[in-house]
Amino acid sequence: MSEHQHEATEGVRVEDLRFDAKGLIATVIQQHDTREVLMVAWMDAEAVRRTVTTGRTWFWSRSRQEYWCKGETSGNIQTVHDVLVDCDADTLLVLVDQKGVACHTGERTCFYRPVIAERSEEAPDE
């Protein structure tokens, strides 16, 4: 399943990940071959374990307070190729094969809008 061969000593165990005060870790989801950044969501330890063991992405919904498996209802599943952790062990990068689209809006990726620096002319504080 893994594209990269990790030495056992290089791996970071789930219990050693640096979850925030709410027990969550930010997770970036990226298309494994095009390196397209698809979405960002939150995992807790159980979601990380489910993702690694099932080969599908699992997240913790802060608003609904429940686990959800990406594509469970939409069919836009993400097949996991690799789960990586950054140098600080506080952010995950999950390389996937995205079926269909990643964003609930119907866009391929959640990152389809640029941020603009223009100030509103009606801004009362300017």
List residues binding Zn ion (CB under 5 A). 103, 110
Cβ burial 104-123 (10 Å sphere, 16+ → b, else e): eeeeebbeeeeeeeeeeeee
Closest contact distance (angstroms) between CB of 40 and Zn ion is: 9
Cβ closest to Zn ion, residue 14 vs residue 42? 42
Closest contact distance (angstroms) between CB of 124 and Zn ion is: 31
Cβ closest to Zn ion, residue 24 vs residue 103? 103
Closest contact distance (angstroms) between CB of 98 and Zn ion is: 12
Task: Return the C-alpha torsion angle 62, 17, 104, 68, nearest 10.
Answer: -60
Cβ closest to Zn ion, residue 14 vs residue 78? 78
Contacts of 41 (CB under 8 A, 6+ apart): 27, 29, 59
